[in-house]
């Protein structure tokens, strides 16, 4: 039997204590990706709930669904990077497990990439609508801050999905292991002169469980980490330009 061709897209979905969402998430992935020639890598990102018990059985009937496990949670970005290492697709991307964004959005981004004159040089990223005013204000504030610090226009930094060619990931150096990975990937694409394609994605309410960035205190802690990492990126940029 001839070997199957590698998937066009590997979509990484990090899952941290998302046992309540897993049946719906897997069902949606089956609905969207079955027979598509793509793969979905569901990362058990060091979960302490029933994820390790439930996930293998849920995906077992579907060869395009794969899983990898991080034994001890080391951050959101670490989970994504673990999935990227396991991915075999020509194009890579990631999105959330909580179904606040639809996994099908990744196909919109992939279509934008593949329809471009130079797909290898395109970074596609969702742009969220349907969010509360408070969240939009945070996004505007962070965009203004990043422009002041990094000199780059980076809007809705943490919107999902983010998609790009596998070679982009292979060129990364020292990506962060926390939520700053979204900023790093977006900034790196802009700094490298890639074509940025944004597309609208609906951002709805969580269907189960509680998010890790929903309270004002959590948003402030998260913003503080992002600010500190932004200064680290600025130092890296100055070092790169001085070499």
Segment 47-83, tens digit of pLDDT = 999 999 999 999 999 999 999 999 999 999 999 999 9
- pLDDT confidence of residue 214: 57
Share of the chain above pLDDT 70, in %: 91
- Quick check: is 91 in a domain? yes
- Region 179-184: mean pLDDT is 94
Q: Say if 185 falls within a structural domain.
A: yes
Domain annotation covers residue 180: yes
Residue 218 belongs to what domain range?
Answer: 9-242
**CA R_g for the chain:** 17
3-class DSSP state of 173: coil
Q: Is residue 95 part of a domain?
A: yes
The pLDDT score that the predictor gives to residue 216 is: 58
Query: Is pTM beyond 0.75 here?
Result: yes
Q: How far is CA 184 from CA 29, 84, 145, 241, in A?
A: 27, 15, 15, 17
Sheet holding 162-165, edge to edge: 65-70, 39-45, 9-15, 91-94, 162-165, 122-129, 195-202
3 within domain boundaries: no
Mean pLDDT of 184-212: 86
pLDDT of 190 over the 90 cut: yes
2 within domain boundaries: no
Q: What tokens were used for 49?
A: 């709930």
pLDDT digits (tens, 9 = 90+) for 83-124: 999 999 999 999 999 999 999 999 999 999 999 999 999 999
Is 80 exceeded by the pLDDT of residue 206?
A: no
- Into how many domains does the chain fold? 1
Tell me, what's the pLDDT at 242?
65
- CA 138 – CA 167 distance, rounded (Å): 32
Q: Is 110 in contact with 9 (CB distance < 8 Å)?
A: yes
Residue 116 belongs to domain with CATH number: 3.90.550.10
Nearest to 154 by CA among 75, 98, 237, 210: 237
What rounded mean pLDDT belongs to the chain? Answer: 91
Residues 6+ apart with CB under 8 A from 81: 175, 177, 181
Tokens of 178: 């926390």
Q: Which is it for strands 162-165 and 91-94: parallel, antiparallel or unpaired? A: antiparallel
Which H helix or E strand runs over 36?
none
What is the C-alpha separation between 136 and 140, in angstroms, rounded?
6
Is 233 within a domain? yes
Question: Mind listing the pLDDT tens digit for each residue in 38-50?
Answer: 999 999 999 999 9
Residues of the chain with pLDDT > 90, as a percent, come to: 72
Per-residue pLDDT, averaged over 136-152, amounts to 88
Please indicate, yes or no, if residue 100 is contained in any of the structural domains: yes
| Mean pLDDT (whole number) for 14-36 | 97
């Amino acid at each position: 039997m001839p070997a199957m061709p590698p998937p066009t897209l590997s979509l990484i979905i990090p899952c941290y204590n998302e046992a309540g969402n897993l049946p719906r998430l897997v069902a949606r992935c089956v609905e969207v990706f079955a027979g598509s020639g793509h793969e979905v890598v569901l990362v058990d990102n060091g979960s302490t709930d029933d994820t390790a018990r439930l996930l293998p059985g849920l995906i077992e009937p579907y060869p395009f669904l794969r899983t990898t496990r991080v034994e001890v949670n080391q951050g959101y970005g670490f989970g994504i990077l673990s999935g990227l290492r396991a991915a075999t697709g020509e194009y890579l991307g990631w999105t959330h497990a909580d179904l606040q964004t639809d996994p099908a959005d990744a196909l919109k981004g992939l279509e934008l990439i593949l329809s471009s004159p130079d797909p290898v040089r395109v970074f596609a990223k969702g742009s969220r609508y349907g969010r509360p005013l408070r969240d939009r204000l945070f996004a505007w504030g962070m965009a203004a801050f990043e422009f002041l610090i990094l000199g780059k226009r980076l809007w809705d930094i943490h919107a999902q999905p983010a998609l790009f060619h596998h070679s982009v990931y292979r060129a990364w150096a020292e990506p962060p292991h926390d939520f700053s990975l979204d900023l790093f990937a977006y900034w790196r694409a802009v700094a490298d002169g890639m074509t940025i394609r944004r597309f609208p994605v609906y951002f709805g309410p969580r269907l189960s469980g509680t998010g890790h960035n929903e309270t004002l205190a959590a948003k402030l802690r998260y913003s503080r980490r992002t600010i500190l990492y932004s200064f680290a990126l600025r130092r890296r940029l100055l070092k790169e330009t001085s070499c």
